[in-house]
């Protein structure tokens, strides 16, 4: 989906994500189909509801979900993530070229500030890559923690 005029104020910026997806990632040196993700538009189309589930592998049984919201007044995107490990994370949307990003400031286990972000990239109608990254130097350098390869489920 090449579009050189992406704007964070676009209320359809994350519409590509709506639908049903297979989720694959590297586990023990091999990329495997390990999860699924189901997304729907809710509340008049202003909210995207996510249901993520790991079906196999080391994290089998992990489930989480998000509410991704276009704030009409602020003309910005926000996301709230929760899961069955007790996590609650609030993110703000950003753009970096063609990459769609949700980012947050938090504190790591050692009490130090860290930036975390989800990066949606290489987006097509049938696939995209999602990266979970962190930065200990306020975004100068990023460390990849988890990469998921998404493929749309054919119905």
Inside any domain, residue 3: no
- How confident is the model over 49-86, as pLDDT tens digits? 999 999 999 999 999 999 999 999 999 999 999 999 99
Q: 57 lies in which domain range?
A: 15-152
Q: What is the mean pLDDT of each run of 10 residues along the chain (155 residues)?
A: 71 96 96 97 94 97 97 94 98 95 95 97 98 96 97 90
| CATH number, domain with residue 107 | 2.40.128.20
Inside any domain, residue 68: yes
Inside any domain, residue 1: no
Inside any domain, residue 7: no
Inside any domain, residue 4: no
- SS3 string, the chain, reads CCCCCCCCCCCCCCHHHCEEEEEEEEECCEEEEEEEEEEEEEHHHCEEEEEEEECCCCCCCCEEEEEEEEECCCCEEEEEEEECCCCEEEEEEEEECCEEEEEEEEECCCCCEEEEEEEEECCCCCEEEEEEEEECCCCCCCEEEEEEEEEECCC
How many structural domains is the chain composed of?
1
């Amino acid at each position: 989906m090449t579009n050189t005029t992406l704007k964070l104020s676009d209320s359809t910026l994350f519409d590509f994500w709506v639908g049903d997806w297979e989720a694959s990632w590297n586990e023990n040196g091999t990329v495997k189909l390990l999860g699924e993700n189901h997304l729907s538009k809710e509340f008049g189309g202003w909210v995207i509801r996510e249901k993520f589930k790991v079906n196999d592998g080391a994290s089998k049984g992990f489930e989480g979900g998000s509410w991704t919201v276009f704030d009409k007044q602020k003309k910005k995107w926000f996301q709230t993530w929760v899961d069955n490990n007790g996590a609650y994370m609030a993110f703000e949307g950003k753009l970096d070229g063609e990459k769609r990003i949700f980012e947050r400031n938090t504190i790591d286990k050692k009490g130090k500030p860290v930036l975390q972000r989800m990066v949606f990239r290489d987006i097509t109608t049938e696939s995209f890559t999602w990266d979970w990254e962190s930065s200990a130097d306020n975004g100068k350098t990023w460390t990849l923690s988890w990469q998921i390869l998404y493929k749309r489920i054919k119905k």
